């Protein structure tokens, strides 16, 4: 139940951020918006905790600046979209979209026909905002589905079975700066690449030709723990329960292994001739029980070991083994506590409409999850 901030250069613990309980913290995010530097965490206490990252270190434990309640089950993923939208997903298949300025729940989103799913098939493991796709929100589920929500209207735009493999949950998610591609990872250790550059954040239209599977290969011997797109090198970084961290170059023929961290053999990501192409695998067919895609309206307002994605000078570490490297400070969670990673509306929360620039190639804006 503790979140700690570290100086990555010398290993000094800068701050200990106190939670309300000893329950596990399962997701942490660092948010830099204007002059505000915030650390947001969620976990098994079912509350979103917010700390302000003031300069300097402190020997005393720091209490949360805000506690936002609304979830009825464990929180397992957090995503942020500028200037003030926060999305949190739960083990119960529900997503809360918050106004960060007011702390008010804007929408409660849910998987369609949630009651028909087994309890362990309801979790939404990862969330990612697609700012270049009109601020669409993408979620990956324990039931093997990809889902896209319009958070301005509170509706499910599209869902489709991801064909990751029989009984495989999609537990990792990342995208490139232009939100033209999605990268998903599953519990079997496989990675899939999707072309979403034609995706339109509008409900009620057929998107089956707008979300196209490109490549699918076995990347690890264990469950994928995290995926991150490395903009500087146009590569995908993967970490797994098998204890390995790998770098992948994605080309027309699929994923090519560029590097394995910690291996004794030398490698260079600047020498493509040394990359090893991995054979694509056949996607699993959709189950017979897979429902036809159907938009779903948001619910009425409800009553009142992870890693932080930090900007510029930070590295994020997780008690569950996820890691994203950036630079100088570390925000981590502990202790692990388990192996299962297991509404009122506010008009002021509506963010500025973003244009859907499918083909202009503009990569000037990069919003990380």
Lowest mean pLDDT among 136-150, 209-223, 339-353: 339-353
What tens digit of pLDDT does each residue of 158-189 get? 999 999 987 899 999 999 999 999 999 999 99
In terms of phi and psi (left: phi > 0; alpha: psi -120 to 50; beta: otherwise), the region of 89 is: beta
Q: How confident is the model at residue 329 (pLDDT cuts 50, 70, 90)?
A: very low
Q: In this predicted model, which residue has the larger pLDDT, 159 or 270?
A: 159
Q: In this predicted model, which residue has the larger pLDDT, 10 or 20?
A: 10
Q: How confident is the model at residue 148 (pLDDT cuts 50, 70, 90)?
A: very high
- Whether the per-residue pLDDT at 244 is higher than 90: the answer is yes
The tokens of 284 are what?
């699993």
- Whether the per-residue pLDDT at 332 is higher than 90: the answer is no
Instruction: Say what the pLDDT of residue 2 is.
Output: 83
Nearest to 190 by CA among 147, 140, 224: 224
The tokens of 332 are what?
């981590």
What's the whole-number mean pLDDT along residues 313-332?
35
Instruction: Say what the pLDDT of residue 23 is.
Output: 86
Q: In this predicted model, which residue has the larger pLDDT, 346 or 270?
A: 270
| Its pTM surpasses 0.85 | no
Lowest mean pLDDT among 28-37, 123-132, 201-210: 28-37
Instruction: Say what the pLDDT of residue 18 is.
Output: 83
Per-residue 3-state assignment (H helix, E strand, C coil) for the chain: CEEEEEECCCCCEEEEEECCCCCCEEEEEEEEECCEEEEEEEECCCEEEEEECCCCCCCCCECCCEEEECCCCCEEEEEEECCCEEEEEECCCEEEEEECCCCEEEEEEECCCHHHCCHHHCCEEEEEEEHHHCCEEEEEECCCEEEEEECCCCEEEEEEECCCCCCCCEEEEEECCCCCEEEEEECCCEEEEEECCCCCCCCCCCCCCCCEEEEEEECCCCCEEEEEEECCCCEEEEEECCCCEEEEEEECCEEEEEEECCCCCCCCCCCHHHCEECCCCCCCCCCCCCCCCCCCECECCCCCCCCCCCCCCEEEECCCCCEECCCCEEEEEECCCCCCCCCCCCHHHCCCCCCCCCCCCCCCCCCCC
Lowest mean pLDDT among 50-54, 220-224, 250-254, 328-332: 328-332
Instruction: Say what the pLDDT of residue 340 is.
Output: 37
Give the rounded percent of residues in the chain with a pLDDT score beyond 70. Answer: 75
- Whether the per-residue pLDDT at 74 is higher than 60: the answer is yes
Instruction: Say what the pLDDT of residue 58 is.
Output: 67
Q: How confident is the model at residue 287 (pLDDT cuts 50, 70, 90)?
A: low
Q: What is the dihedral of CA 89, 71, 94, 210, to 10 degrees?
A: -40
- Whether the per-residue pLDDT at 351 is higher than 60: the answer is no
Question: What domains are defined for the chain?
Answer: 70-230 (2.130.10.10)
Nearest to 182 by CA among 171, 170, 196, 169: 196
Q: Exposed, middle or buried, 323 (CB in 10 Å: 0-12/13-18/19+)? A: middle
Neighbours of 210 (CB within 10 A): 17
Q: How confident is the model at residue 54 (pLDDT cuts 50, 70, 90)?
A: confident
């Amino acid at each position: 139940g503790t979140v700690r901030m570290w100086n990555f250069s010398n290993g000094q613990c800068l701050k200990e951020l106190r939670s309300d309980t000893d329950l596990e913290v399962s997701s942490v995010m660092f948010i830099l918006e204007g002059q505000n530097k915030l650390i947001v965490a969620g976990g098994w206490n079912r509350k979103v905790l917010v700390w302000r990252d003031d300069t300097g270190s402190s020997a005393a434990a720091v209490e949360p600046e805000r506690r936002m309640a609304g979830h009825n089950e464990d929180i397992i993923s957090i995503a942020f979209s500028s200037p003030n939208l926060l999305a949190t997903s739960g083990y119960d298949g529900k997503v809360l979209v918050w106004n960060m300025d007011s702390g008010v729940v804007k929408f409660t989103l849910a998987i369609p026909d949630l009651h028909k799913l087994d309890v362990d098939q309801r979790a939404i493991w990862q969330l990612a905002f697609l700012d270049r796709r009109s601020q669409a929100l993408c979620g990956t589920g324990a039931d093997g589905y990809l889902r896209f929500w319009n958070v301005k209207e509170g509706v499910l735009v599209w869902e489709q079975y991801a064909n990751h493999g029989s009984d495989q949950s999609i537990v990792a998610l990342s995208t490139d700066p232009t939100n033209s591609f999605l990268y998903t990872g599953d519990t079997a250790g496989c990675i899939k690449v999707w072309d979403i550059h034609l995706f339109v954040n509008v409900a009620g239209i057929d998107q089956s030709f707008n979300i196209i599977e490109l490549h699918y290969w076995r990347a690890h011997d264990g469950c994928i723990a995290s995926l991150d797109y490395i903009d500087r090198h146009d590569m995908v970084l993967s970490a797994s329960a098998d204890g390995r961290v790998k770098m992948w170059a994605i080309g027309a023929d699929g994923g090519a292994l560029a590097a394995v961290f910690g291996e004794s053999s030398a490698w260079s990501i600047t020498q493509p001739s040394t990359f090893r192409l991995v054979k694509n695998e056949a996607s699993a067919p959709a189950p017979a029980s897979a429902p036809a895609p159907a938009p779903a309206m948001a619910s009425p307002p409800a009553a009142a070991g992870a890693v932080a994605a930090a900007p510029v000078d930070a590295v994020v570490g997780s008690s569950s083994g996820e890691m994203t490297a950036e630079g100088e400070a570390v925000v981590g969670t502990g202790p692990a506590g388990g192996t299962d990673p297991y509404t009122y509306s506010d008009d002021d929360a509506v963010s500025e409409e973003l244009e859907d620039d499918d083909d202009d190639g503009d990569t000037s804006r990069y919003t990380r999850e």
